[in-house]
Chain A
Amino acid sequence: RKEVEQDPGPFNVPEGATVAFNCTYSNSASQSFFWYRQDCRKEPKLLMSVYSSGNEDGRFTAQLNRASQYISLLIRDSKLSDSATYLCVVVNTGGFKTIFGAGTRLFVKA
């Protein structure tokens, strides 16, 4: 079993749609969780951190469920510019072992 697993997609959605991604992790001692966005032929960039209480940033909502060991990302009112690969990232014990998911590809169509 991979340490971090994501549905690779692709997710093809129309503009304005709501789309959700899930990510599961295997190490219950994992400490920190993030969603990164990677555009084609670009480096990954931090989208948002994920906290146990959940957090929201505009159209984006991230949630963490420690009991079930998964994190989620919800994108509301999708824009064409949201088209990218979304990487789930887990930082494990000690804070220095970082595991990247394989990414979920999103295509938002007009």
Chain B
Amino acid sequence: SAVISQKPSRDICQRGTSLTIQCQVDSQVTMMFWYRQQPGQSLTLIATANQGSEATYESGFVIDKFPISRPNLTFSTLTVSNMSPEDSSIYLCSVMSGASGGNTIYFGEGSWLTVV
């Protein structure tokens, strides 16, 4: 398994500002994933963060809004830029491990973001 630490765990932000979420993994991983889970909804993949290259964004998510850094194999950041109330959500960092006989996803504790 993998131990993933995220911070901040929660924040209340003013609209128009930006917030950077940090994700630290206890082992080296090739890919890290950033998800969003809006209230009452399931998880939606924002992007895949690869070390040494630009992140790969899913449909509906763009780099200008959600810039991602991946400086090394154990760390990544996600910035939520120019926030609006619609960005209020939990943001989850995750990695994939080959334990349990398959590709298992492990999550950080999440960053609860409220935009006012």
Genuine A/B complex: yes
Task: Check A44 against B102 for contact (C-beta < 8 Å).
Answer: no
**Residue B29, interface by CB 8 Å:** no
Of A41, A98, A101, A102, the residue contacting B105 (CB under 8 A) is A98
Q: Which residue of B lies closest to A45 (CB)?
A: B107
Tell me which residues across on chain B come within 8 A of A49, comparing CB atoms: 100-102, 104
Of B43, B102, B110, B112, the residue contacting A100 (CB under 8 A) is B43
Q: Does more than half of chain B's interface fall in helix, strand or loop, or is it mixed?
A: strand
Which of A43, A91, A102, A103 has the largest count of B CB atoms less than 10 A from its CB? A43
Tell me which residues across on chain B come within 8 A of A95, comparing CB atoms: 96, 103
**Residue A34, interface by CB 8 Å:** yes
Tell me which residues across on chain B come within 8 A of A103, comparing CB atoms: 42
Task: Check B103 against A91 for contact (C-beta < 8 Å).
Answer: yes
Tell me which residues across on chain A come within 8 A of B90, comparing CB atoms: 41, 43
**Residue A69, interface by CB 8 Å:** no
Q: Known contacts A49-B101, A96-B31, A96-B48; is A87 also within 8 Å of B107 by CB?
A: no
Please list the 9 inter-chain residue pairs (A to B) with the smallest Cβ-Cβ separation, ordered nearest first.
A43-B107, A32-B102, A102-B42, A100-B43, A43-B110, A95-B103, A100-B42, A49-B100, A91-B103
B: residues with CB less than 8 A from A are 31, 33, 41-43, 45, 48, 90, 92, 96, 100-110, 112
